[in-house]
Homo-oligomer: A and B are copies of this chain.
Amino acid sequence: MDLIEEIKKRSSHVDKGIEEYLPIDKPYELYKAARYLPDAGGKRLRPATVILAAEAVGSDLETVLPAAVAVELVHNFTLVHDDIMDRDDIRRGMPAVHVKWGEAGAILAGDTLYSKAFEILTHAPAEAPERNLKCIDILSKACRDICEGQWMDVEFENRDDVTKEEYLEMIEKKTGVLYAASMQIGAILGGAPEEVSDAFYECGRLIGIAFQIYDDVIDMTTPEEVLGKVRGSDLMEGKKTLIAIHALNKGVELKIFGKGEATTEEINEAVHQLEEAGSIDYVRDLALDYIARGKELLNVVEDSESKTILKAIADYMITRSY
A141: chain B residues within 8 A (beta carbon): 115, 119
Question: At the interface, yes or no: A114 with Cβ under 8 Å from chain B?
Answer: yes
User: How far does the alpha carbon of A105 sit from the alpha carbon of B150 in the complex, in Å?
Assistant: 10
Q: Can you tell how many copies of this chain the complex includes?
A: 2
Could you tell me if B85 and A143 are in contact, using CB atoms closer than 8 angstroms? no
Question: At the interface, yes or no: A27 with Cβ under 8 Å from chain B?
Answer: yes
User: How far does the alpha carbon of A293 sit from the alpha carbon of B214 in the complex, in Å?
Assistant: 61
Given contacts A115-B140, A129-B133, contact A108 B147 (CB under 8 A): yes
Give the A interface residue count (CB, 8 A): 41
Question: At the interface, yes or no: A250 with Cβ under 8 Å from chain B?
Answer: no
Question: At the interface, yes or no: A148 with Cβ under 8 Å from chain B?
Answer: yes
Within 8 A of B (CB), among A13-45: 26-27, 29-30
Within 8 A of B (CB), among A145-178: 147-148, 150-152, 154-155
A150: chain B residues within 8 A (beta carbon): 108
Question: At the interface, yes or no: A213 with Cβ under 8 Å from chain B?
Answer: no
**Please, what's the 1-or-0 string for A117-141, where 1 marks a CB less than 8 Å from any CB in chain B?**
0110011000011101110110111
- For the complex with contacts A85-B107, A111-B114, A111-B147, 16 further pairs of A-B residues with Cβ separation under 8 Å are A26-B148, A27-B152, A27-B155, A81-B107, A84-B103, A84-B107, A105-B151, A111-B143, A112-B147, A118-B118, A118-B139, A122-B137, A122-B140, A133-B133, A133-B136, A136-B136
Nearest 7 Cβ contacts at the A-B interface? A85-B104, A115-B143, A119-B140, A115-B144, A118-B140, A122-B137, A30-B151
A to B CB contacts below 8 Å, 26 in the list: A30-B151, A81-B107, A81-B108, A84-B104, A105-B151, A107-B107, A108-B147, A108-B150, A111-B114, A112-B144, A112-B148, A114-B114, A115-B140, A116-B144, A118-B139, A118-B140, A119-B137, A119-B141, A119-B144, A122-B140, A123-B137, A128-B129, A129-B133, A132-B133, A133-B133, A136-B136
Q: Measuring CB to CB, which residues of chain A are less than 8 angstroms from any residue of chain B? A: 26-27, 29-30, 81, 84-85, 103-105, 107-108, 111-112, 114-116, 118-119, 122-123, 128-130, 132-134, 136-137, 139-141, 143-144, 147-148, 150-152, 154-155
